Amino acid sequence: MKAVKVLEPFKIDIIEIDMPKIENEYDVIVKVTSGGICGSDMGIWNGTNSLATYPRIIGHEFGGVVNEIGSGVKNVKIGDRVAVDPIVSCGHCYACTIGRHNVCSTLEVMGVHRDGGFTEYVKVPEKNIHKFHIDFDESLLGLVEPFTIGMQINNRLQTQKDERMLIMGSGPIGICAMQVAKSRGVKVLMTDIVMERLEKAKDMGADEIVLTTKDNLNDRINKFTNGEGMPIVLDTVCIPETFEESISYASPAGRVAVIGLKNKPSNIVMADITKKELTIVGSRLNCNCFDEVIEGFETKKLNPEKLKTKEFNFMDARAAIDAIEKYPQNILKVVLKFE
Ligand code: MN
Ligand code: ZN
């Protein structure tokens, strides 16, 4: 069978590997149908993902159809459509014991720290498998994971009905977080520096959009919140400057989510946090969000169709990467199909 492997930065290949075999009773072998290409995959491709090691079979956003199960597997059967949670955790560190395995002290993510899902068949433990209950478009199974990121952010921020939220950046994560927020009745204002992206965000459910190269965001926030400032702020741009801005846009008693993995410092002074008594939360990957996202897909509260911009066969992974590099503004999610 074939797999998509990044051998070293800027070197990607379709390689031949052995079919996975059931080795333990809780193993499940999934015939992958689709995967989403993420910014972090692009980082593995271009050498800027500090977490990645090489060579690596990439892919942490993937799903497919159950092909084979171990003798102890109870929750899925052959033929089920499933999405795979790529998180591998130890089960006994502090974070794991309090139910937050997504920040396990020895966390590994399939497709980043270990081989991932851009392969024709993949073996995963039953606990990482989450099934659909209806016939669902197989090209969208790989898009559950990015929505779990958006759901985790909303869970960490404890977003609630009728609250107002600023999402800086209208890329895939901003849009996923927005859709989850909207499904909870939150009013969302989104920003970007590219109008096409904002139009897409509006089309997918954002209440208000702000082109920050043209409009004054501060004024728009004041209008949106009656001069209060933003109770909930999410920065998906994730550069030191936007982290600083997210602190300044937050209202007194506001909550701010941080999702970036950059190591560069920001200039934030203590007083800005103390005076407003801000709650600043990190949000990483997802913690048990798969089933709720799948339910959102099935009930159409969440809309992965519009997140998918383009499809490529996995054999053309290189062309898919080129397309993302060439037209980053026009692309939300590129889906690889494995049929
Ligand atoms: Mn991703
Ligand atoms: Zn752990």
- The correct CATH number of 148-282 out of 1.10.3720.10, 3.40.50.720, 3.10.180.10, 3.40.50.300 is 3.40.50.720
Q: What order do you get walking across the sheet with 2-8 strand by strand?
A: 11-16, 2-8, 56-57
Nearest to 156, CA basis, from 180, 140, 139: 180
| pLDDT at residue number 262 | 85
pLDDT tens, residue by residue, 46-74:
999 888 899 999 999 999 999 999 999 99
Supply the mean pLDDT for the chain.
97
What pLDDT is recorded for position 328? Answer: 83
Ligand nearest to the CA of 88: 2
Model pLDDT, residue 207: 98
Ligand 1 center to 271 CA (angstroms): 34
pLDDT value of residue 263: 86
Would you list the domain boundaries of the chain? 2-131+303-337, 148-282
Q: What is the pLDDT of residues 201-237, one digit of tens each?
A: 999 999 999 999 999 999 999 999 999 999 999 999 9
**For 259-271, what is the mean pLDDT?**
93
In sequence order, which residues have a C-beta less than 8 Å from that of residue 250 and are 6 or more positions away?
229, 230, 231, 233, 256, 276, 278
pLDDT, position 329: 83
The band of 173, judged by pLDDT with boundaries at 50, 70 and 90, is very high
Contact 26, 127 (CB under 8 A): yes
Contact between residue 329 and residue 194 where contact means Cβ atoms under 8 Å apart: yes
- Report the pLDDT averaged over residues 313-333: 94
How far is the C-alpha of 153 from the C-alpha of 130, rounded, in Å? 20
Ligand nearest to the CA of 100: 2
Q: What is the pLDDT of residue 332?
A: 94
Identify the CA nearest to 235 among candidates 172, 166, 158: 166
Please write the tens of the pLDDT for every residue from 108-126.
Answer: 999 999 999 999 999 999 9
Q: Which ligand is nearest to the CA of 109?
A: 1
Residue 96: nearest ligand to its CA?
2
Give the sign of the dihedral formed by CA 72, CA 74, CA 79, CA 84. negative
Q: Average pLDDT for residues 274-279, to the nearest whole number?
A: 98
Centre of ligand 1 from the C-alpha of residue 172, in Å:
9
What's the CATH number for 2-131+303-337?
A: 3.90.180.10
Which ligand is in closest contact with the Cα of 102? 2
Distance 61 CA to ligand 1 centre (A): 6
